[in-house]
């Protein structure tokens, strides 16, 4: 690959052109300073004053983000605000000051460095992703305590909007840069799910992360093309390359307008076949957004939020209320509730399990629910009661055996009988489905199809477990390949088994929100997708450009491929006949040079 081309991970779509601006920031150096015993209380007061000032700053940034990007993006600052409001964390910093007579800055640095090391080495992707949030808190508080400012980092240089290169981008820096002076962001660290990446998408700023050693390969002022869709930075582009990039961005914006215009159009293939686009709902407030984006029901309603950040189990009534709200929002449509997917990076405080060396291969998902039947039965009762209001269904995560499904079926029968005996209005049964997320589930998919009312393929976990690649590891990003032939063949097997059993098989995960993935899945015969709310317009637009027969013909070539590159080539050739490929997110390295 040319040294002019740097490849990373595209995290915010769009093409930006501008001079490179290198922003070097680092945590301030704190010297060891002791305070006199009679000045310790003053030092604690100084700590709290700095923390209060920074907390107010983040609250102001939250308000500014709500105005510029929207309510969902504004919530990103909640994590940093909560860190500054954590009484246990502050007590431990105070103890360092009292017990060791450390200065406030030294004690705060000591504690945050300890947390940073712990989180960075964690097996939890969620904790690893919060390292950048912690760095933002650390940077602000230490600068306040030391009386320093880094505002000069935010000042623009020159008249032209720049491509800002940094080692790491924090949410606070993302929102504080002058928008009209930033054409795009490029960082050496970070992944698509980093808070700064989510914020860049909300602000509409092209962003590429994971550009390893980019800072050492870029000279300030050098002209750069940044492709946030494909994860590419092209250094010192030629005039022809600049013209090609500008035309590609024009096409992307034009298609974005088409997508917005088709928001209220039905998701129908050119040959008249219907495709059902349901929403993936992470939090209760996403239910209304899903309806506004034209979702046809809910394909995956996560329930882990019930248990996060609280000391007690959610009540049955609390769960019935949420399920009823979702059902009434989508009358006549399916609402599929995923039972608790705990474990891995999502353990509630009340469980406090022993640390596991490999949590994503350990006690998680359906295994936790079956081993802790008391809290699981409460959820099953709530679902049976909510079933009276409409078509709610329950889906089990990380199923690897038919016996797991059978045990839940027995629990449902027992709880339905108990509710009837107690005179509580409830359904006598509820449709039960399994998520296909492991090679084990695929190997016995015909048995699962016979035991279940429906199936749903979790493409992200299926890719992770099949390829043994941690999807939250930026270093492994290029190896996390949903178009690997092993994944394509497994998706084919699930489609065939569900069709033979006469049951529905839907798709959730990142592939259901990716145009090339949707093209593949339609060709394999899938017609039901659970899509993130923000991606519903683009997926609906893509569906309306396709016909089932043509997709199926191209997929035959993909099924015969030996490598992911061959799969992508076959699909790209077919999709390119129907859709301008310049609008695709992800994919192979784009050729920014126009044809001769």
Strands 232-235 and 276-281: unpaired
Q: pLDDT higher for 450 or 261?
A: 450
Taking residue 78's Cβ as centre, other Cβ atoms within 10 Å add up to 13
Mean pLDDT across the chain, nearest whole number? Answer: 85
pTM equals: 0.69
DSSP state letters, 554-579: HHHHHHT-SSHHHHHHHHHHHHHTTS
Known catalytic membership, residue 551: no
Known catalytic membership, residue 492: no
Highest average pLDDT, of 197-211, 323-337, 355-369, 528-542, comes from 323-337
Pick the catalytic residue from 195, 230, 484, 492. 195
State the pLDDT confidence band at 583, using cuts at 50, 70 and 90. Answer: low
Q: How far out from the chain centre does Cα 372 lie?
A: 28
Give the per-residue pLDDT at 391: 96
Q: Which of 171, 173, 184 is nearest to 218 (CA)?
A: 184
Q: What is the mean pLDDT of residues 567-577?
A: 89
* Cβ atoms of residues 152 and 8 within 8 Å: no
Give the per-residue pLDDT at 153: 60
Pick the catalytic residue from 230, 293, 492, 508. 508
pLDDT, tens digit, for every residue of 82-103? 888 888 888 999 999 998 889 9
Starting at the edge strand found earlier in the chain, the sheet holding 9-12 runs 5-7, 232-235, 223-227, 15-22, 162-166, 182-187, 207-209, 9-12
Lowest mean pLDDT among 41-45, 94-98, 354-358: 354-358
60: Cβ–Cβ under 8 A, 6 or more apart, which residues? none
Give the per-residue pLDDT at 354: 66
Q: pLDDT higher for 333 or 10?
A: 333
Give the per-residue pLDDT at 590: 39
Give the per-residue pLDDT at 594: 34
pLDDT, tens digit, for every residue of 135-171? 888 888 988 888 877 665 666 566 788 999 998 888 8
pLDDT, tens digit, for every residue of 490-535? 999 999 999 999 999 999 988 888 888 999 999 999 999 999 887 8
Altogether, the residues listed in the chain come to a count of 596
Give the per-residue pLDDT at 592: 42
pLDDT, tens digit, for every residue of 400-438? 999 999 999 999 999 999 999 999 999 999 999 999 999
3 state DSSP class of 31: coil
Give the per-residue pLDDT at 532: 84
Taking residue 418's Cβ as centre, other Cβ atoms within 10 Å add up to 14
């Amino acid at each position: 690959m040319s040294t002019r081309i740097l490849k990373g991970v595209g995290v915010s779509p769009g093409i930006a052109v501008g001079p490179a601006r290198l922003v070097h920031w680092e945590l301030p150096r704190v010297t060891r300073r002791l305070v006199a015993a009679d000045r310790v209380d003053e030092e604690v007061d100084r700590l709290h004053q700095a923390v209060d000032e920074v907390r107010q700053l983040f609250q102001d940034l939250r308000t500014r983000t709500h105005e510029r990007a929207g309510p969902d993006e504004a919530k990103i600052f909640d994590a940093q605000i909560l860190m500054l409001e954590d009484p246990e964390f502050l007590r431990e910093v105070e103890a360092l000051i009292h017990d060791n007579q450390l200065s406030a800055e030294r004690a705060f640095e000591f504690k945050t460095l300890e947390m940073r090391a712990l989180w960075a080495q964690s097996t939890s992707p969620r904790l690893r992703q919060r390292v950048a949030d912690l760095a933002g808190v650390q940077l602000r508080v230490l600068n306040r305590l030391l009386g320093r400012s880094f505002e000069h980092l935010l000042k623009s240089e020159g008249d032209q909007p720049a491509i800002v290169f940094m080692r790491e981008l924090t949410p606070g820096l993302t929102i504080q840069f002058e928008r009209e002076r930033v054409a795009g962001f490029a960082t050496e660290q970070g992944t698509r799910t980093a808070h700064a990446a989510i914020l860049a998408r909300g602000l509409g700023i092209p962003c590429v992360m994971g550009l390893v050693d980019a800072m050492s390969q870029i000279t300030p002022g050098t002209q750069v093309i940044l492709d946030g869709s494909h994860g590419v930075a092209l250094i010192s582009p030629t005039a022809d390359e600049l013209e090609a990039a500008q035309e590609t961005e024009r096409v992307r914006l034009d298609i974005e307008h088409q997508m917005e215009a088709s928001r209220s159009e039905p998701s129908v293939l050119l040959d008249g076949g219907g495709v059902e686009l349901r929403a993936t709902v992470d939090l209760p407030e996403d239910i209304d957004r899903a309806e506004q984006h034209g979702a046809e029901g809910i394909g995956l309603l996560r329930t882990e939020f019930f248990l996060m950040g609280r000391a007690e189990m959610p009540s049955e009534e609390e769960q019935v209320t949420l399920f009823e709200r979702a059902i009434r929002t989508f009358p006549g449509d399916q609402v599929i509730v995923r039972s608790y997917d705990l474990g891995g990076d999502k353990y509630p405080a009340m469980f406090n399990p022993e640390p596991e060396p490999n949590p994503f291969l350990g006690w998680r998902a359906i295994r936790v629910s079956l081993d802790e039947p008391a809290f699981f039965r409460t959820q099953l009762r709530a679902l049976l009661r909510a079933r009276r209001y409409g078509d709610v269904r329950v889906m089990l995560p990380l199923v690897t055996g038919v016996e797991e499904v059978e045990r839940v079926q027995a629990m449902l029968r027992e709880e339905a009988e108990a509710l009837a005996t107690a005179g509580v209005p409830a359904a006598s049964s509820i449709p039960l489905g399994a998520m296909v997320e492991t090679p084990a589930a695929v190997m016995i998919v015909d048995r699962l199809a016979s035991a279940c009312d429906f199936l749903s393929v979790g493409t992200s976990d299926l890719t992770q477990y099949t390829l043994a690649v941690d999807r939250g590891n930026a270093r492994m990003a290029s190896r996390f390949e949903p178009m690997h032939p092993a994944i394509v063949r497994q998706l084919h097997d699930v489609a065939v088994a569900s069709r033979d059993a006469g049951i529905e098989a839907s798709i959730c995960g990142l592939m259901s929100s990716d145009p090339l993935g949707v093209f593949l899945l339609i060709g394999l015969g899938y017609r039901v997708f659970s899509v993130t709310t923000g991606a519903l317009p683009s997926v609906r637009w893509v569906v309306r450009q396709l016909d089932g027969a043509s997709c199926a013909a191209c997929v035959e070539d993909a099924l015969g491929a030996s490598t992911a590159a061959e799969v992508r080539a076959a699909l790209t050739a077919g999709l390119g006949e129907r859709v301008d490929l310049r609008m695709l997110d992800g994919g192979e390295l784009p050729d920014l040079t126009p044809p001769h």
